[in-house]
Structure 1
């Protein structure tokens, strides 16, 4: 968890970072039970979000909290958006579109970094892979430039050296590729430790990764066309509930349309993959049929030659 970046950059620890942003917005995304809320609390330094080890959702809706901290050079503000399990299998389309709309409203000026949170003690599944691919499809590939991988339960896996060995020896190919791609944007977190020095150390690593992302993107937050539209639509005043509710309905509609197009692309991609697999299977069946025909013909010829009087004898 160090080394080169996605395009051959050097170790983030020695990069000449520009002046750091005074105000940073982070969104935490991941499955139920991955440790999103606990990680958000570690970043904020208090129990701002309800958190517990559970396979049931603790975070029911997007929430945003902020704190000021001194990074050794200057005082900064970090805004943390904790999201529910947006890409869990049991999440309804209506719930997903509503929560994505809320998240984008909370980060209407854009996201400086998106933290994809996984549990280091759980097997990286096809569902985890689909979550990353769904985010890429929905937001576009450029979202990867703003993404950081955070693995929780660092205490369970025995620290970074043991975790790195586990990744190398037994992680699925997709996860290994992602870790290699995000070489300087992978952080192992222990949210249970009471060791303040360890807490400070892992927070420092996280913010080094955040500042690396900001540096690589020249200080520009992730802000695609939808973020721009949401910012333009945002009410001047938030005090009128009717106006604000109408605004939320509008952006929910935008998200719904985007989700529908994303689902359509996924279904089309799946259909094309199934067609390609079917073509391969058909080709294999044809090759097997040809081989069987050749084998049968060879056997028949061998039997014919083995019959009495089938050989030509020259006296």
Structure 2
């Protein structure tokens, strides 16, 4: 579901800080808020044990900043972190800031990145920017040179997150570092069309699921709800979403896009026609205006016919696909029954052959016994 653009001053931006223990999440949050709101420590023991949410106006924008426990914090499970963050952010996040401390990129840091994806899914990559802390460690080295020298593991992380990163010096950084961060966030949100990350779990309501499907597919809420009612999308007991068949869904999405274009064109033509008809000089239309209006009416009728044709084509394809599926189902079932009968027949033949063999052996033994008795006599 589309969100208000970040340039809108009334748009509340939900930002979540994630990372391993001691990477500088809380300090970065204080830098963004320009005041000491989150408890920060230089040690590698966890200070933040629950999700903390603070609101502020930063760079002319309303933000809600959430500090989280370390991803490697033993005192907070992945499920507890997920549920706590879900409640704190009202089930939607605009931006994740994955905080990584500059220095040697360790296996523990890499594991923390992987754990984030395990908790929130790979979809979270689209809404995440990497925030490097301890920028003073770079000295005269550029961040690009640091990433190149850090090795393949960090390079792969940067690639997975779309080359989106920023550097913070929480001790004595430049005054414009927060402004530059929000400029990058704004560009990043433009790329993903102002969509957001939605929390959906087994306890989700139908409305929450529709929001999630809308975010995943890029379709509007009303279209997703309509497709759900038509049976193209199905809710399972676990409140995940399925398509009846992938090619039906792909075709349907294409049809929806075509319908959007046709509907927009129809609305535009209808608005122009209404405006044209409402003009006081309507009765003074000359031969110049009349052909133009006629062409527009014809175009509108053509578009309506095209829409009906596409709808009929969609229904026809749906019927063909379902009929083919059912026919294959019966073919497979009949083949299975025939195979079972053939195997049963083979087993009966084998049993009969064994029975005859045993009967033959019994007769031979009986014959030999009689022959021996005859000789004895």
CA distance 1:18–1:83, change in 2 (3 Å): closer
**1:212 aligns to what?**
187
Alpha carbons 1:120, 1:153 under 8 Å: kept: yes
> Partner of 1:289 in structure 2?
none
Contact preservation (8 Å) 1:151, 1:187: yes
Q: Which residue of 2 aligns with 1:81?
A: 66
Alignment of 1:278-297 (within 5 A): none
How far did residue 182 of structure 1 move?
A: 3.9
Distance 1:156 1:141 in 2: 30
Q: 1:55 to 1:225 in 2, by over 3 A?
A: same
**Contact 1:148/1:182 (CA < 8 Å) preserved in 2?**
yes
Deviation at 1:178, TM superposition (A): 2.4
Deviation string 1:211-254 (CA, Å, 9 cap, x unpaired) is 12321221121114239928979xxxxxxxxxxxxxxxxxxxxx
The residue number in structure 2 matching 1:12 is none
TM-superposition CA deviations, 1:39-67 (whole Å, max 9, x none): 00011110011112111111121100010
Partner of 1:111: 93
Q: Deviations over 1:117-163 (max 9, x none)?
A: 01103x2122222222222233222110001101100012216x443
Q: Which residue of 1 aligns with 2:144?
A: 164
Q: Which position in structure 1 is the counterpart of 2:13? A: 24
Counterpart of 2:56 in structure 1 is 67
Q: Deviations over 1:164-217 (max 9, x none)?
A: 222212x13121122244455200100001x6xx13x21122112221232122
- Give 1:192's aligned residue: 171
For residue 56 of structure 1, what is the aligned residue in structure 2?
A: 45
How far, CA to CA, are the matches of 2:114 and 2:125 in structure 1? 10
Q: How does 1:94-109 map to 2 (within 5 A)?
A: 95-109=77-91
Say whether residues 1:144 and 2:125 are aligned partners. Answer: yes
Equivalent-residue separation in structure 2 for 1:78 and 1:157 (angstroms): 29
Q: Partner of 1:226 in structure 2?
A: 201
Instruction: Name stretches of at least 5 consecutive residues in structure 1 with no aligned partner.
Output: 1-16, 234-256, 258-315
Aligned equivalents of 1:228, 1:158: Cα separation in 2: 49
CA distance in 1, matches of 2:100, 2:90: 25
TM-score (norm 1): 0.58
What is the SS of the residue equivalent to 1:58? Answer: coil
RCO higher in structure (CA 8 A, sep ≥6): 1
Work out the number of aligned pairs and report it: 204
